[in-house]
Amino acid sequence: MPLDLAIEVDAWSSVPGLELMAEQAVAAALPDSARGKVITLLFSDDATMQDLNRDWRGKDAPTNVLSFPAPEDQVTPPGELELLGDIVLGYETCAREADEAGKPLAEHACHLIVHGVLHLLGYDHIDDKEAEAMEAAEAKILATLGIANPYMQN
C-alpha cells in the first residue's frame, strides 16, 4: 500500500510512532480492490485546514480532517500508481479533540485517518443512515487496530 506521507507541522513529529500508525490505519481501511493505489497524507495545522475548508467546502473554520478523492477522470501515466486521493489532518483541532476525549493523540489521529480513507472510498455522513454505516465501518476497522469504538459513550 503506497502512502505518500508529509509532516508539515513539527508538532506532529512529537506523536510517537506517527508514520507506522498512519500506515497501519490506511492499510486496515483499504479493501483489496483499492490496494496498489496511492494515498497522500498530510499532517498540517489549523491555519492550513481553515484555508482548505474555506476554499473547498465554503466553511471558514478549521476542522480535524479533510479528504479529497482523486478525480474520476484522472489519467495515470503508464508505470505509475493511481492516486486514490489526499487526506489532511489539522494538529491543533485533533490535539484538542483528543484531550477533550481523554485519549492519546495518536489514537485519535488513527481514527481520523480511517475516517478519511472511508471518505476516499465513497462513504459519507450526510444523513443518519449514511452516518450509521460509516461509523460502523470505522468501529470495525479500528477494532482490528486495537482501538475502542470512538462512538460508544463511556
The owner of cell 481514527 is: 111
Query: In CATH, which of 2.70.170.10, 3.40.50.720, 3.40.50.920, 3.40.390.30 is domain 3-144?
Result: 3.40.390.30
Grid cell 482501538 — which residue? 147
Question: Is 70 exceeded by the pLDDT of residue 23?
Answer: yes
Tell me how far apart the 2 most distant CA atoms of the chain are, in Å. Answer: 50
Q: What is the pLDDT of residues 127-149, one digit of tens each?
A: 999 999 999 999 999 999 999 99
Mean pLDDT, residues 104-130: 94
Residue recorded with cell 459519507 = 124
pLDDT tens per residue across span 61-84: 999 999 999 988 888 888 888 889
Burial code of 14-52, b = ≥16 C-beta within 10 A, e = fewer? ebeebeebbbbbbebbbeeebeebbbbbbbbbbebbbeb
When the pLDDT of each residue in the chain is averaged and rounded to a whole number, the result is: 92
**Measuring CA to CA, how many Å separate 47 from each of 54, 63, 90, 109?**
11, 10, 8, 18
pLDDT score at 35:
77
How many Cβ atoms sit within 10 Å of the Cβ of residue 106? 18
Poorest-pLDDT segment among 32-46, 54-68, 83-97: 32-46
Name the strand (E) or helix (H) holding 90: strand 83-90
pLDDT > 70? residue 48? yes
Instruction: Work out whether strand 3-7 and strand 65-69 pair parallel, antiparallel, or are unpaired.
Output: unpaired
Where in the chain are the domains? 3-144
